[in-house]
Structure 1
């Protein structure tokens, strides 16, 4: 379960990690009240569970209460990569003297924990690793010993962080293990001119299987695509590309993502409708994908087994009927094979929807979807 920034910072405070003073607002007037209470220049930050807020205009500086109200009015309701901002975090602006990166995560490939710490913060860690690999310390963490004071000092030293950051690294580890987290990330972790170490941002993913051990508040409802998909029981993950992908079975969907990438395009999502998906599930999935403003084309790749291709085709037709003119906005490439494939192709052919193109092979369908996305 991904937390919003303000929820992550509440956990940080519980474990003695300093964060900027602030509050959460759901209306512009509330943002003004929080800024007035803080009595300082503030930053208004969209609360969405996805990165890229700054680039999308979801983080705005405000010198005072009136400006905070104005900026909150601009940010509230903003759609950021399919996630709508229903709340903003208004917090005191904190000037960094230096910015760092710190994260703990579960390394599934190694079956262990991994610490990633860098003296370069405020940018994507992938970019830092590519341009300055020596500036990133990647250190496996023994789950039996964890990160004690000595290990935290070693992490800080290896990454080029000041000694005073070691205490915060130790406390971040406590967040990781005591809150049953899968990821704890701070970018940037800053040092102020006075030498204070402050978590200027926060990202925490909790292990839902351990929820019974905690009193963590559930994330408030939102209109984000992943939230909407979850409410419909769909296995959906938002990605950064332009080709929407639907498949039945996680293995087939993963293969489809690879084929789309091989065709020169980036997938916009992972969506597995499952092995026994009904026409309604197909319709729900397609509606979610076509609601994503990043999607330029859609690839439906289904191999009929338990899932019958005629049910999939009926779901596609039902979804497009439901969407009306919205269903004409993006081309949909369909590849059906396996159980009742001929019947499914016939249903789509008879419907003759102008957005639908049928292609018999997975490679051919991916190439067409990639080309349509590039030309959109």
Structure 2
């Protein structure tokens, strides 16, 4: 696929100046049930709301008179260079948002020079997405069939994925009330491209008071996933191993002992255990627990360059960004994704300068105040 430029996206006659502008555009464009599928959380959505509130509760203590002319947002993520301390989070069924789905999203990530994480349940196959030329990581769910797990790992290796990200917080899909009320099911033209034919038909079968997507994952995923299984995965590949879904520092320590190259502090964007701790709140504990033995990334609620700076100041090496990418994708395909990432880069550059930080290393020395406590 030819690379497209990050052309400006016109939302309701005005140029977007932050990612929230694209959120409003996406909400207006998408069918209500599809919007609920990407925007909703589990249960009462208390964790979904808490993620944003917790990020807003982190106040940064800027340095002054730093004499900086230009800031550098470049990062090293799992040994590879990226223009931002950011990767596009793994997200399912992106053709729901745009006909080119993951192909367009990966193209936007390529334009922004950041890694794109391919979901196990993407609507384009690993092989198709690899043709875009973006830096790819592959996200793996633990399946009932170990043979399929090995097959997916080998396919990721063969197409040149640079990391394997194992999601560990989905023994079952969280109870997402919006999807249950909508009796959400995938349209016939959306497929689980990496998993066919194993149970994928269940995702298309609408049932009263049920989510067909949840029914499909129940068939495909194995809820008994344990540490010994993760150790087995580590033995199957030499790719850098990223463990996504860590909140407790004890789990972070165990992940390091099993050979993790990075952990992602994440509550799955508020879509799994409702009432779980906000990711930004757990982040400093995890950073302390791993003691520099692996990289630490964070996701859930990141919406601005200031949020990225908050995560860096609390010890993260970078962040994953999810829903904002989908907003850009639904609004304008690859250029929309590129614009979301460009806005985040502009905001981070400005936030670094205003905080007196020339680069990401300096950002990690910033002090922060949470809920009025002294720095």
Q: TM-score, normalised by structure 1?
A: 0.23
User: Which of structures 1 and 2 has the larger relative contact order (alpha carbons within 8 angstroms, sep 6+)?
Assistant: 2
Q: Which has the larger radius of gyration?
A: 1
